[in-house]
Chains A and B, each alone.
Chain A
């Protein structure tokens, strides 16, 4: 029951825009707006993951934020998704080991 319901509420937002917006032409400002969606949605997700812990803003004693620094640098330097994920995981492991 939970699984079927969860599947449905996941399926609809994924599928409907592709099915409906493919039929109709988007206005120019709409396309321009959609251009910024990937940047905003990824940044918003990163922001929540890094700065919010237990519904509190967290800046000090935040291992995840520290681990994000080498992760960002590697992403900029190598442009490799795989490298970024590996460095991120190794960084957080190392930081948790030392702190």
Chain B
């Protein structure tokens, strides 16, 4: 590439990198994940006996794959509202950690603007945003809204589509839809490790997290294991980094 081309390219990227549209574009790689998981959630919610209106409300107001999968499962088995809410609270408690990890990048914004950013936070948009932060040391507010809204609208659309087609799909596992969620977590984990320059320490932390999460999950049901594993493994990483 010639010197001039390089300059043109760098001007173009510096103009676009913080824009709403760039946020929309950076969301695209995760869309298949949202669409397939949202579709699967819609199918499950439909087969659990929820109406289309209830499914739309769930995806608009709750907007969380794991929570909606759990809601559908527990509604189908006739659990109480309180039990469903407590389970969902624990499952989504991990968002505290994601939200806290993003907070240094939005310190200059008002609490209301932070609320808008946080209310649409998901594992996937967090993964994309933290990669952006690792590369550029900052996250633009407009870029974040572009990312968040694209994911949100696709999620709602996928839920409705899933609910609509749910009446004909009896076995979502046959199409590998249930594996879309773990596959996306694997992708986000590997991408995070590759993009940082501390592979060895990251792998140690990841192995600790897996061992703790699995051990706790066998003893306690639900997602308590994820919270415990996250807290302990992050502390291990922090301590090792400090002592080296």
Q: Which residues of A contact B (CB under 8 A)?
A: 1-7, 9-11, 13-19, 21-23, 26, 29, 31-52, 55-57, 64, 67-68, 71-72, 75-76, 79-82, 84-93, 96
Q: Which partner residue on chain A sits nearest B116 by CB separation?
A: A15
Stretch among B17-25, B60-68, B159-167 lining the A interface: B60-68
> What class of interface size applies to chain B in its complex with A?
35 or more
- In the complex the two chains form, what is the Cα distance from A81 to B186 in whole Å? 9
A19:B54 contact, CB within 8 angstroms: no
A88:B186 contact, CB within 8 angstroms: yes
B127 contacts which chain A residues (CB < 8 A)? 38, 42, 81
Contact of B229 among A3, A11, A47, A84 (CB under 8 A): A47
Interface of chain B, main secondary structure: helix
Q: Which partner residue on chain B sits nearest A34 by CB separation?
A: B101
A46:B210 contact, CB within 8 angstroms: yes
A96 contacts which chain B residues (CB < 8 A)? 173-174, 176
Asked if B150 lies at the interface with its beta carbon under 8 angstroms from chain A, I say no
Taking A18-B102, A44-B226 as contacts, is the C-beta distance between A75 and B191 under 8 angstroms?
Answer: yes
Bitwise interface map of B from 197 to 215 toward A, beta carbon under 8 Å scored 1, else 0: 0000010011111111110
Taking A3-B61, A13-B95, A14-B119 as contacts, is the C-beta distance between A39 and B181 under 8 angstroms?
Answer: no
A41:B226 contact, CB within 8 angstroms: yes
B123 contacts which chain A residues (CB < 8 A)? 41-42, 45
